[in-house]
Amino acid sequence: MTRVKICGITEFEDARDAVLLGAAAIGLNFYASSPRYVDPTRAAQIIEKLPPFVTIVGVFVNHPDPQNLEDFALSLGLHAVQLHGNETPDYCSMIQRVKVIKALRVDSNFRVDTLRSHGSGTFLLDACSPDQFGGTGRSFNWDLVFGANAFGSIIIAGGLTPENVAQAVTTLHPFGVDVASGVESKPGKKDYEKMRRFIEAVQRTDVALMDKP
């Protein structure tokens, strides 16, 4: 089954609704320049109220000290860190006590075999923007990432909406899909109906794929 992560959560009510609707994970953005930034105090309040069996992912961009980042993640109760900057394979390998999701931006020069050198095992593939580290609301050419599943668990992001996520799941069979702006009424504020339609579209597609001979 395709896992759904609702990213850019800034309010507990949105996190609660996402989980009740069936999201497997929520994302909290600790990149200060993001319109979806959440400060650690508010993040802790959101995490404290969440039920069990929810994966909590922290989003970071070019944090200068991987050990400090790891300590912060553990102190807050994060299950994984999603690294959206220019973090190297060596940087990723220094984080051992929480799971690492390495985000990579896909442009026309992207080659899936480059995933082999990163070694984190879980990759988020996102649209490439020269001035933004994710959260662009733009999709990328999915043809460029065919075969990525051979190199680890693949999460597809970038411009996903309730209208196109079924096509993404059908085309790429990813481990998961990640959405922020596609289910928002404004940056950082989730829209309940959009989240519902997004998650239901993924669930329906999974069922349809299982029914295929």
58-97 tens-digit pLDDT = 999 999 999 999 999 999 999 999 999 999 999 999 999 9
Whether the predicted pLDDT of 130 surpasses 60: no
- The closest alpha carbon to 82, from 100, 56, 64, belongs to 100
Residue 29 CA, chain-centre distance (Å), reads: 10
Does residue 14 have an active-site annotation? no
Q: Is this prediction's pTM over 0.85?
A: yes
Q: How far apart are CA 85 and CA 95, in angstroms?
A: 15
How many structural domains comprise the chain?
1
What are the pLDDT digits (tens) for 40-63?
A: 999 999 999 999 999 999 999 999
Output the pLDDT for position 139: 84
Confidence of residue 212 (pLDDT cuts 50, 70, 90): confident
Q: How far apart are CA 123 and CA 173, in angstroms?
A: 14
Confidence of residue 119 (pLDDT cuts 50, 70, 90): low
**Residue 16: partners with Cβ closer than 8 Å, 6 or more residues away:** 49, 50
Does residue 126 have an active-site annotation? yes
CATH number at residue 156: 3.20.20.70
Marked catalytic residue, from 7, 14, 17, 92: 7
Phi, psi of 121 (to 5 degrees): 90, -20
Marked catalytic residue, from 14, 17, 126, 178: 126
Domain with 68, as residue range(s), is 3-211
Whether the predicted pLDDT of 135 surpasses 70: no
Average pLDDT, the chain: 93
First to last CA, the chain: 17
Confidence of residue 134 (pLDDT cuts 50, 70, 90): very low
> DSSP letters along 132-164, please?
-SS-------GGGGTTGGGGSEEEE-SS--TTT
